[in-house]
């Protein structure tokens, strides 16, 4: 499938519009839900950490430290990607699957259009902007932690910021974005595969969306483990 | 002209097409008829290159499809217009965008020229006020006309229609049949129509291919279908009282 996606390119003037449309459908339309989830989960991480710091010898700045580490290393890249496997993945599978069921893909092929390139390539290019979404999730997650920690009375602003800056390893950001790019490819290709090669009618479109979500999530979790072992484990 | 030589196609070990040979002539409406499961759709999809026959040849004006390079096949496909049973319009595009799609994909025409051609074909299919509507906002008959407009916008040499008037009321069905026939003559193209509709057979059947169990059981014109003594054709075409009476009246004249 991937070979066909990159073969026989659609005219650039047409492809350009498709890419912008996919950026709108996949990235821009996800901003709201990503911002909402990141902000509140960041807040919950800060509160949970604060509530578990019962020993008075443990410094309060650990709340900021734990929030930063949790959000940047795992929550933003992995947890958001699993959520996006549901949102983007089901959108991709159902839109391509519906095109299959209603013979729109056959129509493209009969016209001489490379349907895999026309449908999947713009999604792959659009999802190259996925790290931008995860960057926002990282920022809002830490911001949510700061607000919950400070305005909830669990820590002071100075302590939280001190913790959020403590022992910062820049490679952790690189690690998070490398993971994000791999997850972006999984998010673009696995749901597309399940939509493109589905057979049947409306019921099967729903089933294909569910199967695509399961496989994309499983792949993200597996790749997360492998990448963490490769990049941080040695 | 499309010439089919002895094509065979199987699915899961079951032979659907069992060696069909025929000729679909240019400038004529060629109809494929037969019962469900007779192989009509498989034959049409084989002609379109969606299915690959296991043996036999399909020649488009002397070009053998199976012997063409991949690029030549794609080039040939740009000479094909197709009207799908469910219209297969792109539901995220307006009527005008659907019709202009093949031009945007395969020509270097500018927007004004594309718009001019889109206006021309939409006028030809009598749809002048639907440019900015989405397929979901127009009726089934209008969707079929948009599908026809999209199929002819690139001035194809070959037009394929899969049950073009299924699900339409009798008046609209006749309008669609006549539109296809007029366009076939006007553009001098080879039109192949897959149909169950006996009204279509009687109205526009200039070359009718009757399939039974994956074999060519009969071929002739709409006049010849009245006179045929082929029992399979008679049983299929004249299965309703109305058509039996029409036939009897025709034979009495």
Complete DSSP assignment for B97-137: HHHHHHHHHH----HHHHHHHHHHHHHHTT-SS-TT--GGG
Asked if A14 reaches chain B (Cβ–Cβ under 8 Å), the answer is yes
Per-residue pLDDT of B153-172, as tens digits, reads 988 999 999 988 888 888 88
Residue B117 lies in a domain: yes
pLDDT at A129: 96
B138 close to B170: Cβ distance less than 8 angstroms: no
Q: How far apart (Å, rounded) are the C-alpha atoms in residues B38 and B225? A: 18
- Summarize the confidence of residues B225-229 as an average pLDDT: 84
pLDDT at A48: 94
Assess whether B162 and B69 both reside in one domain.
yes
Q: pLDDT in tens for each of the 234 residues of chain A?
A: 778 888 778 888 889 999 999 999 999 999 999 999 999 999 999 999 999 888 888 888 999 999 999 999 999 999 999 999 999 999 999 999 999 999 999 999 888 889 999 999 999 999 999 999 999 999 999 999 999 999 999 999 999 999 999 999 999 999 999 999 999 999 999 999 999 999 988 899 999 999 999 999 999 999 999 999 999 886
Q: How far apart (Å, rounded) are the C-alpha atoms in residues A4 and A114? A: 8
Q: Do B80 and A102 touch (CB under 8 A)?
A: no
Find the CB nearest A107 among B74, B78, B82: B82
Q: Residues B16, B20, B23, B28: is their CA dihedral positive or negative?
A: negative
Residue B87 lies in a domain: no
Which H or E run contains A140? helix A130-151
Query: Which residues constitute the domain of residue B213?
Result: 1-79+158-222
A·B CB contacts under 8 A: 55
Give the CATH number, domain containing residue B35: 3.40.50.300
Distance of CA B74 to the CA centre of its chain: 19
B116 close to B170: Cβ distance less than 8 angstroms: no
Q: Do A103 and B84 touch (CB under 8 A)?
A: yes
Q: Do A11 and B104 touch (CB under 8 A)?
A: yes
Q: Do B86 and A107 touch (CB under 8 A)?
A: no
- CA separation, residue A49 to residues A149, A155, B103 (Å): 10, 11, 60
| pLDDT more than 90, % of chain B | 47
pLDDT at A78: 96
Distance from CA of A102 to the nearest CA of B (A): 6
Interface of B with A in 155-174 (CB under 8 A): 160
| Residue A227 DSSP SS3 | helix
Asked if A106 reaches chain B (Cβ–Cβ under 8 Å), the answer is yes
Residue B247 lies in a domain: no
Point out the domain boundary residue: B101, B125, B155. Answer: B155
Residues with Cβ < 8 Å from A22, sequence gap 6 or more?
A122, A123, A125, A126
Q: How far apart (Å, rounded) are the C-alpha atoms in residues B221 and B194? A: 15
Q: Which residues of B touch A102 (CB under 8 A)?
A: 86, 88, 91
Q: How far apart (Å, rounded) are the C-alpha atoms in residues B104 and B113? A: 10
Distance from CA of A191 to the nearest CA of B (A): 19
Point out the domain boundary residue: B100, B129, B155. Answer: B155
* Number of domains composing chain B: 2
| pLDDT more than 90, % of chain A | 82
Q: How far apart (Å, rounded) are the C-alpha atoms in residues B194 and B79? A: 19
- Summarize the confidence of residues B56-75 as an average pLDDT: 89
pLDDT at B196: 85
Q: Do A110 and B74 touch (CB under 8 A)?
A: no
| Residue B78 DSSP SS3 | coil
pLDDT at A2: 78
Residue B211 lies in a domain: yes
Assess whether B1 and B45 both reside in one domain.
yes
Q: Which residues of A touch B82 (CB under 8 A)?
A: 107, 110-111
Q: How far apart (Å, rounded) are the C-alpha atoms in residues B20 and B217? A: 10
pLDDT at A111: 87
pLDDT at B61: 92
Q: Which residues of A touch B76 (CB under 8 A)?
A: 112
pLDDT at A184: 97
């Amino acid at each position: 499938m991937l070979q066909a996606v990159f073969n026989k390119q659609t005219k650039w003037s047409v492809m350009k519009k498709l890419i912008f449309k996919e950026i709108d459908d996949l990235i821009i339309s996800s901003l709201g839900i990503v911002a909402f989830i990141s902000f509140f989960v960041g807040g919950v991480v800060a509160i949970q950490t604060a509530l578990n710091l019962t020993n008075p010898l443990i410094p309060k700045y650990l709340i900021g430290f734990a929030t930063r580490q949790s959000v940047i290393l795992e929550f933003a890249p992995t947890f958001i990607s699993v959520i996006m496997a549901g949102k983007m993945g089901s959108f991709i599978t159902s839109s391509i699957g519906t095109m299959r069921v209603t013979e729109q893909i056959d129509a493209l092929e009969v016209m001489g259009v490379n349907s895999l390139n026309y449908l999947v390539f713009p999604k792959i290019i659009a999802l190259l902007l996925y790290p931008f979404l995860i960057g926002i999730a990282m920022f809002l997650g830490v911001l949510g932690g700061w607000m919950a920690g400070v305005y909830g009375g669990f820590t002071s602003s100075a302590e939280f910021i001190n913790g959020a800056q403590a022992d910062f390893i820049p490679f952790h950001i690189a690690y998070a974005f490398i993971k994000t790019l791999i997850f972006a490819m999984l998010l673009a290709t696995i749901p597309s595969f399940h939509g493109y090669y589905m057979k049947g009618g409306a019921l099967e479109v729903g089933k294909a969306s569910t199967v695509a979500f399961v496989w994309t999530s499983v792949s993200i979790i597996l790749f997360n483990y492998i990448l963490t072992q490769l990049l941080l484990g040695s | 002209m499309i010439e089919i030589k002895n094509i065979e196609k199987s699915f899961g070990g079951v032979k659907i097409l069992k060696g069909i040979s025929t000729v679909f002539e240019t400038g004529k409406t060629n109809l494929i008829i037969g019962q469900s499961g007779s192989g009509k759709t498989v034959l049409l999809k084989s002609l379109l290159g969606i299915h690959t026959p296991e043996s036999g040849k399909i020649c488009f004006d002397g070009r053998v499809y199976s012997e063409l390079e991949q690029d030549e096949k794609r080039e040939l496909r740009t000479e094909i217009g197709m009207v799908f049973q469910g219209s297969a319009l792109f539901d995220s595009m307006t009527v005008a965008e659907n019709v202009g799609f093949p031009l945007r994909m395969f020509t270097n025409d500018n927007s004004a020229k594309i718009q001019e051609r889109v206006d021309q074909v939409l006028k030809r299919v009598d749809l002048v006020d639907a440019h900015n509507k989405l397929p979901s906002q127009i009726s089934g008959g209008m969707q079929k006309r948009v599908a026809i407009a999209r199929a002819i916008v690139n001035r194809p040499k070959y037009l394929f229609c899969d049950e073009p008037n299924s699900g339409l009321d009798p008046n609209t069905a006749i309008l669609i049949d006549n539109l296809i026939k007029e366009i076939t003559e006007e553009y001098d193209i080879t039109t192949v129509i897959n149909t169950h509709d006996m009204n279509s057979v009687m109205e526009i059947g200039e070359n009718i291919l009757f399939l039974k169990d994956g074999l060519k059981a009969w071929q002739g014109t709409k006049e010849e279908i009245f006179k045929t003594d082929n029992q399979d054709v008679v049983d299929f075409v004249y299965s309703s009282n109305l058509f039996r009476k029409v036939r009897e009246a025709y034979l009495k004249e």
